[in-house]
Amino acid sequence: MKIIGTGSALPRKVVTNEDLTRFLDTSDEWIASRTGIRSRRVITDERLEDLATEAAEKALAEAGIAAADLDYILCSNIANYYVTPGLSCVVAGRIGAACPAVDINCACPGFLYAMDIAEAFFKTGRVRNVLIICAEEATRMLDWTDRSTCILFGDGAGAAVFAPGDNIKGVRMDCQPDVNTLYECRKLNHTPFLTKEEKDVPLQMNGREVFKFAVSTAVRDIESLLAEAGLTTDDIQYFMIHQANLRIIEAIRKRLGAPEEKFPSHVADHGNASSASCAILLDECNRKGLFKRGDKLIFSAFGAGLLSGAILMEW
The DSSP H or E segment spanning 170 is: strand 168-178
Q: Number of helices (H) and strands (E) in the chain: give both, helices first.
A: 9, 13
In angstroms, the CA 149 to CA 202 distance is 10
Q: Which lies closer to ligand ACO via its Cβ, residue 168 or residue 182?
A: 182
In angstroms, the CA 163 to CA 118 distance is 10
Closest distance of CB 189 from ligand ACO, Å: 29
Tell me which amino acid residue 166 is.
D
Closest distance of CB 19 from ligand ACO, Å: 13
Q: Which lies closer to ligand ACO via its Cβ, residue 99 or residue 141?
A: 141
Which range of residues in 117-125, 165-173, 210-218, 288-296 is near ligand ACO by CB under 6 A? 210-218
Q: Does the protein bind ligand ACO through residue 220 (CB under 6 A)?
A: no
Which one among 8, 88, 265, 272 touches ligand ACO, defined by CB under 6 A?
272
Q: Does the protein bind ligand ACO through residue 111 (CB under 6 A)?
A: no
- Residue of this chain nearest to ligand ACO (CB atom): 207
Q: Does the protein bind ligand ACO through residue 108 (CB under 6 A)?
A: yes
Q: Does the protein bind ligand ACO through residue 207 (CB under 6 A)?
A: yes
Closest distance of CB 114 from ligand ACO, Å: 16
User: At a CB cut-off of 8 Å and minimum separation 6, what does 191 contact?
Assistant: none
Site for ligand ACO in 23-82 (CB under 6 A): 26, 30-31, 34-35
Active site residues: 108, 242, 272
Q: Where are the alpha helices (DSSP H) in the chain?
A: 17-20, 28-35, 48-63, 87-95, 110-124, 207-229, 246-256, 267-270, 276-287
Closest distance of CB 161 from ligand ACO, Å: 25
Per-residue contact string for residues 144-173; x = within reach of ligand ACO by CB under 6 A: ---xx--xx---------------------
In angstroms, the CA 225 to CA 150 distance is 33
In angstroms, the CA 209 to CA 297 distance is 27
User: At a CB cut-off of 8 Å and minimum separation 6, what does 129 contact?
Assistant: 63, 65, 69, 70, 71, 161, 162, 163
Contact present, 131 and 139 (Cβ < 8 Å): no
Q: Residues in the site for ligand ACO, rule: CB under 6 A? A: 26, 30-31, 34-35, 108, 147-148, 151-152, 182, 205, 207-208, 210-211, 214, 244-245, 247-248, 272, 302-303
